[in-house]
Chains A and B, each alone.
Chain A
Amino acid sequence: MTAAPAETGTPAASAPAAPARTARRPRRSPRGRLATAVVYLLLLAAVLTVLFPVYYVFAGAFMRPDEIAGYPPSLVPHSLTGRNFSGAVHAVPLARQYANSVLVAGVITAAQLFTSVLAAYAFVFLPLRARRVVFGLFLATLMVPWESVVIPNYLTLSGWGLGNTYFGLVLPFLASAFGTFLLRQSFRQFPAELRDAARIDGAGHWRFLWRILVPLNRPVLAALAVYVFLSAWNQYFWPLIITRTAEMQTLQIGLSTLRDSEMADPGLILAGVVLSLLPTLVLVLFGQRFIVRGLTAGAVR
Chain B
Amino acid sequence: MPTAPPPPARPRRLGEHGLAWAFLLPSVAVFALFIGYPLGRTLYLSAHANDLFGAPSRYVGLKHYTDLLASAEFRDTLLTTALFVLLTVVPGVLGALAVVLLLEGRIRGVRLLRSAFALPFAFSVASASVVFSVFYNPASGVLNGLLSQFHLGPVGWLTDSRYALLSVAASTVWMNLGYNVLVLSAGIGSIPDEITEAARLDGASGLRLARSITVPLLGPSLFFLTVVSTVNALQSFGQIHILTRGGPDGATRTLVYSVYQNAFAYGSSDFGTASAQAVVLLVVVLACTGVQFGTLERKVHYA
A interface with B by C-beta (< 8 Å): 1-6, 10, 12, 20, 23-24, 26, 35-36, 39-40, 42-43, 46-47, 50-51, 53-54, 56-57, 60, 68-69, 71-73, 75, 114-116, 118-119, 121-129, 131-132, 134-135, 137-138, 141-156, 171-172, 174-177, 180, 188-190, 192, 195, 205, 233-234, 236-237, 240-241, 252-253, 255-256, 258-259, 263-264, 266, 269-270, 272-273, 276-277, 280-281, 283-285, 288, 291-292, 295-296, 298-301
Query: Are A237 and B238 in contact, CB atoms less than 8 angstroms apart?
Result: yes
- Given that A3-B189, A138-B27, A256-B242 are known contacts, is A192 also in contact with B5, CB under 8 Å in the complex? yes
Cβ contact within 8 Å between A174 and B105: no
Tell yes or no: B264 within 8 A of A by CB: yes
CA distance A119 to B140 in the complex (A): 52
Does B68 sit at the interface, judged by CB under 8 A? no
Pick the contact of B19: A12, A57, A141, A205 (CB < 8 A).
A205
Contact across chains for B281 and A147 when beta carbons are under 8 A apart = yes
Distance of A299 from chain B, by nearest CB (Å)? 4
Q: Verify A291–B121 contact, CB threshold 8 A.
A: yes
Q: What are 13 pairs between A and B in contact, CB < 8 Å?
A: A20-B201, A42-B102, A43-B107, A46-B99, A53-B128, A114-B26, A116-B27, A124-B5, A128-B17, A148-B42, A236-B126, A255-B127, A299-B225
Instruction: Note all chain B residues with C-beta closer than 8 A to A20.
Output: 201
Closest Cβ neighbor of B40 among chain A residues: A152
Contact between chains at B110 and A298 (CB < 8 Å): no
Chain B 1-43 interface mask (CB, 8 Å, partner A; 1/0): 1111110100110001101110110111111011111110110
- Give a binary string over B169-198; 1 marks a CB under 8 Å from any A CB, 0 the rest: 000001001110011011111100110010
A68–B141 CA distance with the chains assembled, in angstroms: 8
Does the CB pair B126–A269 fall under 8 Å? no
Tell me whether A299 and B186 are in contact in the complex, defined as CB-CB below 8 angstroms, given that A192-B5, A237-B260 are known contacts.
Answer: yes
Which of B20, B231, B259 lies in contact with A128, CB distance below 8 A?
B20
Q: Are A56 and B102 in contact (CB under 8 A)?
A: no
Partner of A24, one of B197, B225, B285: B197
Q: Are B38 and A149 in contact (CB under 8 A)?
A: yes
CA distance A291 to B135 in the complex (A): 29
Contacts known (A144-B35, A273-B131, A292-B182); A10 close to B286, Cβ less than 8 A = no
Interface size on B, residues (CB 8 A): 123
In the complex, A144 Cα to B289 Cα: how many Å? 9
Q: Which residues of B lie under 8 Å from residue A151 when comparing CB positions?
A: 38, 41-42, 45, 259, 263, 271, 274-275, 278
B234 within 8 A of A: yes
Chain B residue contacts of A259, Cβ below 8 A? 130, 133-134, 242
Whether A122 pairs with B23 at a CB distance below 8 angstroms is: yes
Nearest B-chain residue to A48, judged by Cβ:
B116
A115 in contact with B238 given A152-B45, A258-B130 (CB within 8 Å)? no
By the criterion CB–CB under 8 Å, are A300 and B224 in contact?
yes
CB neighbours (8 Å) of A145 from chain B are 231, 234-235, 281-282, 285
Q: Contact check, A172 vs B12: say whether CB atoms are below 8 A apart.
A: no
A277 & B123 in contact (Cβ 8 Å cutoff): yes
Considering residues A123, A156, A252, which has the most beta carbons from chain B within 10 angstroms of its beta carbon? A252
Kindly identify which residue among B125, B142, B178, B303 contacts A234, using a CB–CB cutoff of 8 Å.
Answer: B125
Q: Closest CB-CB distance, B268 to chain A, in whole Å? A: 12
**Chain B residues within an 8 Å CB radius of A264:** 140
Question: Would A281 and B122 be within 8 Å (CB), given that A6-B106, A296-B182 are in contact?
Answer: yes
Min distance, Cβ B26 to any Cβ of chain A, angstroms: 4
- Pairwise interchain contact A10-B193, C-beta atoms closer than 8 A: yes
Q: Which residue of B lies closest to A293 (CB)?
A: B186
Q: A172, B30: Cβ atoms under 8 Å? A: yes
**Interface status of B75 (Cβ within 8 A of chain A):** no
Pair B16/A126 contact, Cβ less than 8 Å? yes
Closest residue of A by beta carbon distance from B137: A266
Q: B119 contacts A284, CB within 8 Å?
A: yes
- A43 with B186: CB separation less than 8 A: no
Question: Other CB < 8 Å A-B pairs besides A69-B145, A129-B17, A147-B256, 11 of them?
Answer: A46-B99, A50-B116, A54-B120, A124-B4, A141-B35, A155-B41, A155-B271, A175-B26, A263-B137, A300-B299, A301-B303
A234 contact set on B, CB distance < 8 A: 124-126
Within 8 Å by CB of A299, from B27, B103, B124, B221, lies: B221
Q: How far, in Å, is A167 (CB) from chain B's closest CB?
A: 13
Whether A73 contacts B19 by the Cβ 8 Å rule is no
Given A127-B16, A174-B26, A148 and B102 touching (CB < 8 A)?
no
Q: Would you give the shortest CB distance from A4 to chain B, in whole angstroms?
A: 6
A3 to chain B: which residues have CB within 8 Å? 103-104, 110, 188-189
Docked complex Cα distance between A142 and B285 (Å): 11
In the bound assembly, the distance between CA atoms of A218 and B36 in angstroms comes to 31
Contact A119 B27 (CB under 8 A): yes
A119 to B26 CA separation, bound complex (whole angstroms): 8
A129: chain B residues within 8 A (beta carbon): 17
Residue of B nearest to A205 (CB): B19
B279 lies within 8 A of A148 (CB) = yes
Q: Is B113 an interface residue (CB 8 A)?
A: yes
How long is the Cα–Cα vector from A125 to B6 in the complex, in angstroms?
A: 8
Whether the pair A69, B119 counts as a contact (CB closer than 8 A) is: no
Chain A minimum-CB-distance residue to B141: A266
Q: Which of A53, A119, A273, A277 has the most CB of B within 10 A?
A: A53
| B134 x A266 contact (CB < 8 A) | yes
When distances are taken between beta carbons in the complex, the residues of chain A under 8 Å from B16 are 126-127, 205
Residues of chain B lying within 8 A (CB to CB) of residue A147: 235, 237, 256, 259, 278, 281
Is B117 close to A, CB under 8 A? yes
